[in-house]
Amino acid sequence: MTHASIITGQAIAAELRASIRQEVDRWPADLPRPRLVVIQVGDDPASSVYVKNKVKACEEAGIISEHRRLPADSTEQNLVDHIDRLNQDSQVHGILVQLPLPKHLSASKLIDRIDPNKDVDGFHPINSGALFSGQPRLVPCTPAGVMVLLEHTGFNLRGAEAVVVGASNIVGKPQAMLLLAAGATVTLCNSKTKDLHAHCQRADVLIAAVGRAGFIKGSMIKPGAVVIDVGINRLDSGRLCGDVDFESASKKASWITPVPGGVGPMTIAMLLSNTLKAARRTF
Ligand code: NAP
């Protein structure tokens, strides 16, 4: 069996970021430059790294970004007031509340407070509703990035069997909606799914978003399938790995994403793209 071709998310994301940079460079002088504000509550080290990467990517693309650190013991009212001020500020186009939040805060309550037109994570119920009714506005970054990767393989999704393993609000569910909109026949699996093997083995396109290292083995993959690994898991050794066992899966798949360097860079590129969209208001 031949080895799969690698979907080079890193390179595809770099191309997208360069085209965003070009558009920002041509931004009309009389309009406020695209601006993203990222709110981090507390100082969770993993969140700090994610936010730092987002801010750096914005800088490289010419998008103005602000990292607002609020104390871990901030009250919900405090955050609601903060979000309200950003909603009112015409210089701010994108607002992102970095998750996870400290336990005493309700993520859904705060996300619901963000102006849907500035919700660059695409998690607001207005934006999920728009996606579910087939009129996408601001779409969650990771599944949107996966669609760009699929496009790059040249694989025709119309009529294809697509299986998504993992049904979270931020990845699996919106992913299923995007695949459906592209004409695929979609199966959305969760932890209660009976005979996951059988579902996966039918998949022409298999998306893994579970959060368990090496969970999808080569034996679960249909020969020639396109395999997208959304998972990011840190092993005890410190090494990052995906939800797909790359070694065995790459012997069966036609195309496969690596971890790192696959879906991850696309998530950030799509955040920039959503910020630009929000600044243009072209949705
Ligand atoms: P999550 O909220 O924990 O959801 C995991 C999903 O997997 C749930 O729907 C769960 O089912 C399902 N699941 C768990 N065990 C399963 C099993 N044995 N069989 C089938 N389904 C099972 O996770 P998430 O936020 O979607 O993230 C998933 C992974 O993607 C994580 O590794 C995360 O780090 C990664 N991620 C990566 C990016 C990126 O930029 N590359 C972005 C976001 C997330 P139930 O619904 O039944 O609980």
- The answer to whether the CB of 63 falls within 8 A of the CB of 24 is yes
Task: Give, for ligand 1, the residue of 54, 168, 216 to mutate: max count of ligand atoms closer than 8 Å to Cβ.
Answer: 168
- Residue 196 backbone zone (phi > 0: left; psi -120 to 50: alpha; other: beta): alpha
Q: Give the residue whose CA is nearest to atom 35 of ligand 1.
A: 231
User: Of all residues in the chain, what percent carry a pLDDT higher than 70?
Assistant: 99
Q: Is the pLDDT of residue 61 over 60?
A: yes
State the number of CA atoms in the 13 A half-sphere of 142 facing the CB.
21
Measured by CA distance, the residue closest to atom 40 of ligand 1 is 264
Cβ atoms < 10 Å from Cβ of 95: 27
Q: How many Cα atoms sit within 13 Å of 280 on the Cβ side?
A: 15
Atom of ligand 1 nearest to the CA of 171: 26
Residues with CB under 6 A from ligand 1: 142, 165-168, 170-172, 189-193, 196, 209-211, 230-233, 263-264, 267
| CA 243 – CA 230 distance, rounded (Å) | 7
Which of 170, 190, 233 maximizes ligand 1 atoms within 8 Å of its Cβ, making it the mutation to test the pocket?
A: 190
Query: Smallest Cα–Cα separation from 160: which of 174, 175, 179?
Result: 179
Mean residue pLDDT across the chain? 97
Considering Cα of 133, then 136, then 141, then 145, what sign does the dihedral take? positive
Contacts of 50 (CB under 8 A, 6+ apart): 98
* Arithmetic mean of pLDDT, 109-129: 98
Ligand 1 centroid – CA 166 distance (Å) = 5
For the cut 60, the answer to whether the pLDDT of residue 1 exceeds it is no
Q: Could you give the residue numbers annotated as active site?
A: 54, 98, 121
For 82, 100, 186, 188, the CA distances from 165, given in Å and listed in that order, are 36, 22, 11, 6
Cis peptide before 45 (omega within 30 of 0): no
Does pLDDT of 152 surpass 80?
Answer: yes
Query: How far lies 263's CA from each of 25, 87, 259, in Å?
Result: 26, 30, 8
Give me the pLDDT at residue 138, please: 98
Q: What confidence tens digit (pLDDT) does each residue in 174-220 have?
A: 999 999 999 999 999 999 999 999 999 999 999 999 999 999 999 99
HSE-CB for 264 with a 13 A CA cutoff? 15
Supply the pLDDT for residue 266.
98
Q: Compute, in angstroms, the gap from residue 209 CA to the centroid of ligand 1.
A: 5
Mean pLDDT of 122-151: 98
